[in-house]
Amino acid sequence: MPAFEHEATLDRALASPGLRGAAPETAARLALTAYARHVFTDYDDLLDEGYDRDSARHFVLDDLNETLRAWGAAPITEEAAEDGENRP
């Protein structure tokens, strides 16, 4: 992850009520995933077009994983995405 993205990801984690009670490793992974999904994919555009969250997440999974891999993070598997893992 580029250094300039660290602060934005940390801010997202600290602002999320769902992440405050999570273990640090879990909160970091969820914040990283959420940040990448919102900033580096068309996720928000799909939601604005009327797609539900699960459908929008499905359609951006490849782009999201490309970003995660570029940052040295493990990608989200199709199974994990379908099971709702990596969801803040």
User: Where in the chain are the domains?
Assistant: 3-83
Phi, psi (degrees; rounded to nearest 5) at 26:
-65, -45
pLDDT at residue 11 tops 80: no
pLDDT at 16: 81
What is the arithmetic mean of pLDDT over 18-27?
83
Run of H or E residues at 63: helix 53-70
Which amino acid is located at 42 in the chain? Answer: D
At 48, give phi and psi (nearest 5°).
-65, -30
Average pLDDT over residues 26-31: 86
Q: Examine the pLDDT at 88 and tell me if it is beyond 60.
A: no
Please return the burial class of 23, using the count of CB atoms within 10 Å of its CB with bins 0-12, 13-18 and 19+: exposed
CA proximity to 60, closest of 26, 29, 36, 28: 36
pLDDT digits (tens, 9 = 90+) for 51-82: 999 999 999 999 999 999 999 999 998 877 77
